[in-house]
């Protein structure tokens, strides 16, 4: 996907690899329950491969981004935006998690992640 490659290049990860899985709400709810112990669907889940004792084995492999098309579609409708725009926001969010950004543990980290997300969205919108 060209958009993912542009995001990775902008983040100084031009040779990085990741997988993108687009699923429905029941599938992402299962991932959410199984791996995060949360109930119900969510919009995006990231599974970083650069954490833990085996991170050095494949340094170019960042991990997996799982996006719920159902939730993304609902969120796009609610926000009055195009589905592709919402999908790109979620893709950026997922990739940022793969490279270590976090919004859960502090408001300061959330603000940094949000600013980076906005910068990347502006870059993508300029190039489309």
Structure tokens at 76: 């796009």
C-beta separation of 76 from 88 below 8 A: no
What's the CA gap between 24 and 68, in Å, rounded?
Answer: 5
Q: Which runs of E-coded beta strand occur in the chain?
A: 17-23, 44-48, 61-68
Is residue 105 annotated as involved in ligand binding? no
C-beta separation of 11 from 121 below 8 A: no
Is residue 97 annotated as involved in ligand binding? yes
For 105, phi and psi rounded to 5 degrees?
-90, -20
Q: Which residues are annotated as a binding site?
A: 93, 97, 103
Q: Which residues are annotated as a binding site for Zn(2+)?
A: 93, 97, 103
């Amino acid at each position: 996907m060209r958009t993912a490659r542009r995001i990775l290049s902008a983040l100084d990860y031009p040779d990085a690899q990741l997988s993108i899985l687009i699923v429905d709400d029941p599938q992402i709810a299962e991932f959410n329950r199984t791996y995060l112990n949360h109930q119900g669907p969510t919009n995006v889940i990231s599974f970083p491969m650069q954490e833990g004792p085996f991170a050095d084995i494949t340094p170019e492999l960042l991990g997996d981004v799982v996006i719920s098309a159902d939730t993304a579609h609902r969120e796009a409708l609610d926000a009055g935006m195009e589905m592709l725009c919402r999908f790109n926001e979620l893709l950026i969010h997922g990739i940022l998690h793969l490279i270590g950004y976090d919004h859960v543990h502090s408001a300061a980290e959330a603000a940094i992640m949000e600013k980076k997300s906005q910068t990347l969205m502006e870059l993508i919108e300029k190039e489309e």
